[in-house]
Amino acid sequence: MSSAPEIQALAEAPGYHARRTLPLRVEAMRQLRRRRTLLMGGVLAALPFILIIAFAIGGTPGGGDGGGGGSRINLMDVATESAANFAATCLFVSAGFLLVVPVALFCGDTVASEASWSSLRYLLAAPVPRSRLLWSKLVVALGFSLAAMVLLPLVALGAGAAAYGWGPLKLPTGGALASSDTVPRLALVVAFVFVSQLVTAGLAFWLSTRTDAPLGAVGGAVGLTIVGNVLDAVTALGDWREFLPAHWQFAWADALQPDLEWGGMAKGAAVSVTYALILFALAFRGFSRKDIVS
């Protein structure tokens, strides 16, 4: 690693601008070409087709058993009514865990992977300022996380339209949303799911700055997210559960009601953003003082 005087000399070189180091385009292309990115995209794109095959083999979905946390909403009962219903069902079955994985993967593999490859100190010696490196990696990681969440309903809408036709979104409680309202409502659902997953992103990103093992950062974020879900199931905690991000993870169901309700989603978003900002701040603060040896 270059010495401090050498880095200072580079920083003062003509034409050097800290903001031009590690451009977002370069970082995005590096992440896009990685095998784990392509694999995760393939898994999310394949899920709708797997569900279509499962429905074709098993018959009409649902059955009224109400399992799997369907006390609030059970979209499985109306999954094959239209493409919009099918897309909403794909989000319903994946929001609790499957969509956690790409967020933890993209955000937890950012800094830790560079450290595991022993390339982190060379990036900083370029010289790329530490804050610039973290911002570039965080923005790209969040961008890929959002892309993963958008990919799933988009593929589901296309596959669902081919399999079940286009029509209004029928609600399991009765009634329906007009076809013209379904896409905006589904977009709102995706936006809320993304915001609710910012806590996982913050956990993974913070852990990524603390360890040289990408798997540790990713696994730690997923594990802590699961712990949050378990704690939310402990009804003895009472109102304390409202401070858990997991408590609001299905508040997006309010967006699929005839009369749009914002209360639950607003509270859930506030809790998630608060935790995420604290975790991101801890990541930047800790990394700025860390002795980089990898």
> Alpha helices of 109-254 — where are they, by DSSP H?
111-116, 120-124, 130-164, 179-196, 198-210, 214-232
pLDDT in tens, the chain (294 residues): 444 444 454 455 555 455 666 677 887 888 888 888 999 999 999 999 999 999 888 766 655 444 333 345 577 878 888 899 999 999 988 888 889 999 999 999 888 887 777 666 666 665 667 788 888 889 999 999 999 999 999 999 999 999 999 888 888 777 788 888 888 999 999 999 999 999 999 999 999 998 888 889 999 999 999 999 899 889 898 889 999 999 998 888 888 888 888 989 999 999 999 999 999 999 999 888 776 655
| Straight-line distance from the first to the last Cα atom of the chain, in angstroms, rounded to the nearest whole number | 10
Q: Are 86 and 156 in contact (CB under 8 A)?
A: yes
Tokens 């969509």, residue? 99
pLDDT of res. 68: 38
The tokens for 72 are: 């609030």
> What count of other Cβ atoms lies within 10 Å of the Cβ of residue 19?
9
The three-class DSSP label of residue 253 is: helix
Instruction: Give the separation between CA 189 and CA 63, rounded to whole angstroms.
Output: 25
Q: Are 197 and 229 in contact (CB under 8 A)?
A: no
